[in-house]
Amino acid sequence: MSTTYSLISTFWKQNKSFLLFIFFMFVFRSSFADWNTVPTGSMKPTILEGDRILVNKMAYDLRVPFSHLSILNLNNPDHGDIVVFDSAYSDKRLVKRVIGIPGDTVKLVDNTLFINGRELTYQDLNIDEKTMDRTEDLLGIRYSIRTQLGGSRLSNFNAVTVPDGHYLVMGDNRDNSADSRIIGFVPRNEIVGKANRVVLSLNYDDYYLPRTDRFFKSL
């Protein structure tokens, strides 16, 4: 027993600085800021597969490290925010855009959103054989979305009201996103942070070469 303790003590003394650095790095990533890899195209054209996005974990809460327990509520997600959340429904971390906040009534008709009875405005950007990119104006927040020509089963849903403590989220790639139309409303306590920008990006279709034009790109 004393030999084991002696070995542990020696190891700690020799590596204390490094071990403390690792510990505080994980604390920082857990409670303050982190980066996440985006493996799917559900947020195209805003976020691409292979983007590494910076996540501000203090955007909404100060949390106990390595948990979802909020010590202090700093803010709440708002329309247009790109949020990162640990979905209990899908058992994975997801990145989506907030479309509806508590109390909002939202419906989708042929990929056109209505918020509290108000039809959002759109401007066409690019079109190809299968998809169209448009600018969507969500109550003054403007960003690009992608829709499939001819739509899909995700292009419509009847009016729903977002309950207290929940959010309606959608991917910018509207016809190719497993969002609130599939997983339901997102509970507030599942939201771990807000995505601010792309840190770096690797092109999965081109031998993982870096997309330097996307480095530090704001979202």
Indicate the DSSP class of residue 10.
H
pLDDT tens column, 118-156: 999 999 998 888 999 999 999 999 999 999 999 999 999
Structure confidence at residue 208 (pLDDT):
84
Question: Is there a contact between 159 and 107 (Cβ–Cβ < 8 Å)?
Answer: yes
For the record, the structure tokens of 83 come out as 């949020």
Residue in 70, 45, 50 with CA at minimum distance from that of residue 60 = 70
Low-confidence spans in the chain with pLDDT less than 70: 1-2, 5, 7-9, 11-33
Structure confidence at residue 204 (pLDDT):
87
CATH number listed for the domain at residues 32-214: 2.10.109.10
> 216: which residues sit within 8 A by CB, 6+ positions away?
197, 198, 199
C-alpha 35: how far from its chain's center? Answer: 11
Structure confidence at residue 29 (pLDDT):
61
Q: Which residues are catalytic?
A: 42, 96
For the record, the structure tokens of 24 come out as 């505080």
Cα distances (Å, whole numbers) of residue 173 to 36, 39, 106, 155: 19, 14, 18, 11
